[in-house]
Each structure stands twice: as C-alpha cells, then as structure tokens.
C-alpha cells in the first residue's frame, strides 16, 4: 500500500510539472506574439510618418524633390594653366596665382566657355590685375573677385551665344605671395 500511495502522490506532481511547463510555453508564445504586434505597429507608424500624411508639408517636399530631379547635373571646366598676376605693393613685387574652375549646367554653354577660353582668360587676367592686393587678402575681397569673375564670363557668353550660360566661378587654388 505504501508503494501505491507513493505512486499516486507522484502522479499529481508529474501532471503539475507538465502543466507548469505547458503554462510557461503558452506565456512565451503570447509574449512573442505581443512583441511581434508591437514591432509591426511601430514599423507601420514609421512608414506612415516617412511617407507623409498627405499634408501640405509633404507636398512641398515632393515638389522640391521633383525640381531637383529635373535640374541637370553640374558640369565643371577647369581653366588650365592657373592664372598668375603680378602686383607692385609698397615697392615690392607680389604675385597672385588662381586656379579657376567654371561651373554650369548647359553643355552648349560649357562648350562655348572652352571655345572662347582665350577671350575669357584675357578678361580675367585684366580683372585680377585691376584689383587691390590688400583687398584680395580678405575673405570679402575674394568673394567680390569671384562675383566679378562670374559676371565677366557671363558677359562674354551673353555676347557670343546669347545667354549667360554659367552659374559660378570656383577658386580651386588661391595663392598670394
């Protein structure tokens, strides 16, 4: 009888152990499902926010992107060799050496820059030589020269092809001695 009582006592404990492990498995499955639902919801909200909610700010962004998409890529033309101009400053001879690159978006205009490079170079050398050496040492003087150089090239292109053709001039090297 003692053996029978022990067997009966062990049977409920075995059932309780299997129920406990079954309960743990159910809790784990429920936890995994809850985590997946939360992650899915967070992903959905993120996508909704990124795609825009249909307000005007989203429309402005998309119109700005479409304008950028239709804008042709920049074309660069490096004017080689660098420009070297001498100055007389306080009885001493000084030099400015500029490496200039022209930026535009119209292939026809950039071809015209190359074709008319001798005239453009002449005008730029005269422009640089007419500047004050002390002024060119300041950031404002360099920016002013950049604007004047851009306008000078645009004037040549306006006369030759009927449009300004370029956006800006870039100083890729600026040495003063």
Sequential DSSP letters for 63-99:
HHHHHHHHSPPPEEEEEEEEEEEEEEETTEEEEEEEE
Handedness of CA 50, 55, 59, 65 (dihedral sign): negative
Query: What do you get for the CA distance between the two ends of the chain, in Å?
Result: 114
**Nearest residue to 156 (alpha-carbon basis) of 111, 127, 101, 119:** 119
Mean pLDDT of 25-46: 82
| Torsion angles phi and psi, residue 131, rounded to 5 | -80, 160
pLDDT at 23: 75
Residue 103: closest CA among 124, 74, 143, 71: 74
Token look-up 């299997």 returns 18
φ/ψ of residue 58, rounded to 5: -65, -35
* Integer Cα distance of 165 and 92 in angstroms: 39
Write out the two tokens for 165: 């053709």
Quote the CA–CA distance of 136 and 175 in Å, as a whole number: 10
- Over residues 115-129, mean pLDDT: 95
Query: Tokens standing for 30?
Result: 């429920």
**Mean pLDDT in residue range 37-55:** 73
pLDDT in tens, 131-168: 999 999 999 999 999 999 999 999 999 999 999 999 99
Q: Is the pLDDT confidence value at 1 over 70?
A: no
């Amino acid at each position: 009888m003692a053996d029978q009582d022990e067997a009966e006592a062990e049977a409920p404990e075995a059932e309780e152990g299997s129920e406990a492990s079954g309960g743990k498995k159910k809790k784990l499955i429920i936890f995994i499902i809850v985590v997946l639902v939360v992650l899915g919801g967070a992903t959905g909200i993120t996508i909704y926010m990124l795609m825009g909610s249909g307000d005007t700010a989203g429309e402005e962004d998309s119109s700005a992107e479409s304008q950028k998409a239709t804008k042709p890529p920049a074309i660069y033309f490096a004017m080689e060799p660098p420009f070297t101009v001498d100055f007389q400053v306080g009885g001493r001879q000084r030099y400015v050496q500029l490496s200039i690159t022209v930026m535009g978006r119209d292939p026809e205009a950039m071809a015209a820059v190359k074709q008319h490079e001798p005239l453009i170079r002449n005008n730029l050398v005269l422009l640089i030589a007419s500047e004050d050496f002390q002024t060119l040492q300041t950031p404002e003087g360099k920016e002013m020269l950049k604007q004047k150089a851009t306008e000078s090239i645009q004037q040549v292109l306006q006369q030759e092809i009927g449009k300004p053709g370029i956006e800006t001039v870039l100083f890729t090297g600026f040495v003063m001695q």
